[in-house]
């Protein structure tokens, strides 16, 4: 690793919070030097991680990881194939029984040491994320804090995963209800939050007693590989966490999902890919958790605090360059305040600085690749052809890198693709409504149901609207609501299952009922 941290005893919450706060508030704001970047890349693993060992791909294949701000190759990473996948499955299956029988306190302390190591290496992780994904360093640092919290949260949940013991109503039996680890899992993570999506899956699986195979996105594997090295340093036994980067996902997901030893798949990504994986999962009746696409509405009522609503819209729309399933895809504003809201939002968006996420003062980094830029440009062009007006932005950047200007659209047709499809870019289409019923109908007019946002100073109205919205998440007068202690997930074609919170560990357990003869039955 770059600057290895020695293992250290689990610390109390106050000390750990002090460490986290120090990490957040004292990093250098200077643009990282080429020397520092090269040293970090040289220290970051680029091989597969199977049975506690770093190894090259069986076929010797590799793929390039690029910097989306420049298009330049950062490094090359080993590319796993079916042979590697089955080796990882062997390791996970072999380790499953001993890991399941490992006392929950031991599992908890490994997770807590992992949390501490993530805090120790926060700057390295943040820099890796910015290099391979593009987001500004400040946002990468925020993801380290958020992602690390899943390790701390599930270290605490590991020792509280209780069953129950009770008499049957008839009194003839006593019921022993236990929760057991579901078994080896396949965890497939996306490119947009390279650390948080890994910790959100790995931490509850470890806490529950499951072994796993992690497949990070080919666009951003470096953060996951660095994180894996930290978890190994934290004391994770060989075979418990196996990591397979690859630029041919089907070559490993297919064989793994056909293997009867695999018992669960957890996937975060597009709805189209999720549907295909769910079809494959039926063959072996695998447990599935799916966190899929989104088309989140952000609703602003006439009684909203408009400054608060604009701040919420900026956070919900432009965090991560809009490349988030929780992004506010559509901004719905009540007619009487639409002009004022648009003017305030335009002022904020036009002031944003676009550039490399490595540079101090940059608010919006590049999109992940050229394909993403083209997709966003096509959505904007379609909206304009249908009558939309570009208030701010609307164009791709010049020169190298995959930049797209923060864009505000008004007078957007409900039939525009930018309203119906997930944007995954810094584009905010504004539509207007007149009544509550109309707002709800517009918001629910999508096959997706992940995140939604409502701004109103009338809390009764906010809760009333929330009850009518078909979404798994609701931000009421806030634009960012994700938290390790809260259940995250959607309805309809946004997926099934929940990650985070007390619900998160249940996704990795199965329930067993043991009926015991009552001592009073004779």
**Summary count for the chain: helices (H), strands (E):** 17, 20
CA distance 213 to 230: 16
Listed as own residue / partner, the contacts of 333-337 with beta carbons closer than 8 Å and 24 or more positions apart are 333/299, 333/300, 333/430, 333/431, 333/432, 333/433, 334/300, 334/301, 334/302, 334/432, 334/433, 334/434, 334/439, 335/432, 335/433, 335/434, 336/302, 337/300, 337/302, 337/304, 337/306
Alpha-carbon torsion, ordered 372, 373, 374, 380, to 10 deg: 110
Stated as kind and residue range, the H or E segment containing 49 is strand 48-50
CA distance 64 to 482: 32
What is the number of alpha carbons within 13 Å of residue 305 lying toward its C-beta? 10
Scored b (16 or more CB within 10 A) or e, 343-366 reads: ebbbebbeebebbbbbbeebbbbb
Scored b (16 or more CB within 10 A) or e, 259-275 reads: beebbbbbbbbebebbe
CA distance 115 to 155: 9
CA distance 454 to 294: 16
Those residues with Cβ within 8 angstroms of residue 34's Cβ, 6 or more apart along the chain or in another chain = none
CA distance 89 to 83: 10
Start-to-end CA span in the chain (Å): 64
DSSP 8-state secondary structure symbol assigned to residue 159: G
The DSSP code sequence of 210-222 is: --EEEE--TTS-H
Scored b (16 or more CB within 10 A) or e, 95-131 reads: bbeebbebebeebbbbbbbbbbbbbbbbbbbbbbbbb
Give the residue numbers marked as catalytic: 291, 325
Scored b (16 or more CB within 10 A) or e, 17-52 reads: eebbeebeeeeeeeebeeebbeebbeebbbbbbbbe
Stated as kind and residue range, the H or E segment containing 41 is helix 34-43
């Amino acid at each position: 690793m770059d600057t290895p941290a020695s293992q250290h005893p689990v610390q109390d919450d106050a000390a750990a919070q002090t460490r986290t706060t120090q990490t957040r508030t004292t990093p250098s704001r200077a643009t990282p030097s080429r020397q520092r970047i090269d040293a970090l890349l040289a220290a970051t693993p680029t091989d597969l991680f199977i049975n506690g060992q770093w190894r090259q791909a069986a076929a010797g294949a590799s793929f390039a990881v690029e910097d989306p701000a420049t298009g330049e190759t950062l490094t090359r990473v080993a590319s796993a194939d079916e042979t590697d996948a089955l080796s990882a499955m062997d390791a996970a299956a072999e380790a499953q029984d001993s890991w399941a029988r490992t006392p929950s306190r031991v599992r908890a302390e490994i997770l807590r040491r992992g949390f501490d190591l993530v805090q120790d290496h926060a700057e390295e992780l943040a820099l890796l994320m910015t290099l391979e994904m593009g987001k500004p360093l400040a946002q990468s640092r925020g993801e380290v804090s958020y992602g690390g919290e899943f390790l701390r949260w599930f270290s605490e949940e590991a020792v509280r995963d209780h069953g129950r013991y009770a008499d049957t109503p008839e009194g003839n039996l006593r019921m022993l209800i236990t929760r057991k680890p579901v078994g080896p899992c396949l965890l497939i993570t996306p490119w947009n939050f390279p650390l948080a999506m890994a910790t959100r899956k790995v931490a509850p699986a470890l806490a529950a007693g499951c072994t796993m195979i992690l497949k990070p996105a080919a666009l951003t594997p470096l953060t996951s590989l660095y994180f894996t090295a930290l978890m190994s340093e934290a004391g994770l036994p060989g075979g418990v966490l196996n990591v397979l980067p690859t630029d041919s996902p089907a070559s490993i997901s297919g064989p793994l999902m056909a293997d009867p030893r695999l018992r669960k798949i957890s996937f975060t990504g597009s709805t189209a890919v999720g549907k295909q994986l769910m079809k494959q999962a039926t063959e072996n009746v695998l447990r599935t958790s799916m966190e899929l696409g989104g088309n989140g509405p952000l609703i602003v009522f006439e009684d909203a605090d408009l400054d608060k609503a604009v701040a919420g819209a900026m956070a919900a729309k432009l965090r991560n360059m809009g490349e988030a399933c929780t992004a506010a895809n559509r901004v719905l504003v009540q007619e009487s305040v639409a002009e004022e809201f648009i003017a305030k939002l335009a002022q904020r968006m036009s002031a944003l600085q676009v550039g490399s996420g490595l540079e101090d003062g940059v608010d919006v980094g590049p999109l992940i690749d050229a394909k993403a830029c083209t997709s966003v440009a096509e959505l904007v062009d379609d909206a304009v052809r249908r009558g939309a007006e570009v208030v701010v932005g609307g164009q791709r950047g010049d020169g190298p890198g995959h930049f797209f200007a923060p864009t505000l659209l008004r007078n957007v047709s409900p039939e525009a693709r930018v309203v119906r499809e997930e944007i995954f870019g810094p584009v905010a289409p504004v539509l207007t409504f007149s009544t509550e019923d109309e707002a709800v109908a517009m918001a629910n007019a999508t096959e997706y149901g992940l995140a939604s946002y409502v701004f109103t100073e009338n809390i009764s109205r906010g809760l009333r609207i929330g009850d009518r919205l078909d979404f798994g998440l609701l931000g009421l007068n806030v634009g960012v609501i994700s938290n390790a202690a809260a259940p995250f997930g959607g309805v309809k074609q946004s997926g099934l299952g929940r990650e985070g919170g007390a619900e998160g560990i249940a996704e990795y357990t199965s329930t067993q009922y043991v009926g015991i003869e009552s001592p009073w039955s004779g």
